[in-house]
Amino acid sequence: MSDENAAQGETPETETPEVAAPEVDPVEALTQENAELKDRVLRTIAEMENLRKRTERDVADTRSYAIAGFARDMLTATDALSQALIMIPAETRASADGTLKSLIEGIELAQREMQRLLGKHGVKQIEAAGQKFDPHKHQAMFEVPNPNVPDGTVVQVVQEGFEIGGRVLRPAMVGVSKGGAAAPAAPSEGEGIDKSA
Chain segment 37-90, per-residue pLDDT in tens: 999 999 999 999 999 999 998 888 777 777 787 888 888 888 888 888 888 888
What is the C-alpha separation between 151 and 156, in angstroms, rounded?
A: 13
pLDDT at 189: 42
Q: Could you tell me the pTM of the whole model? A: 0.56
> Which residues make Cβ contacts (< 8 Å) with residue 2, sequence separation at least 6?
12
Whole-number Å distance between alpha carbons of 120 and 131:
25
Tell me whether strands 167-170 and 138-145 are parallel, antiparallel or unpaired: unpaired
**What is the reported pLDDT for 45?**
94
**Segment 108-143, tens digit of pLDDT:** 899 889 889 888 888 888 888 888 888 888 888 888
From residue 196, give the alpha-carbon distance in Å to each of 5, 14, 192, 193.
Answer: 101, 89, 12, 9
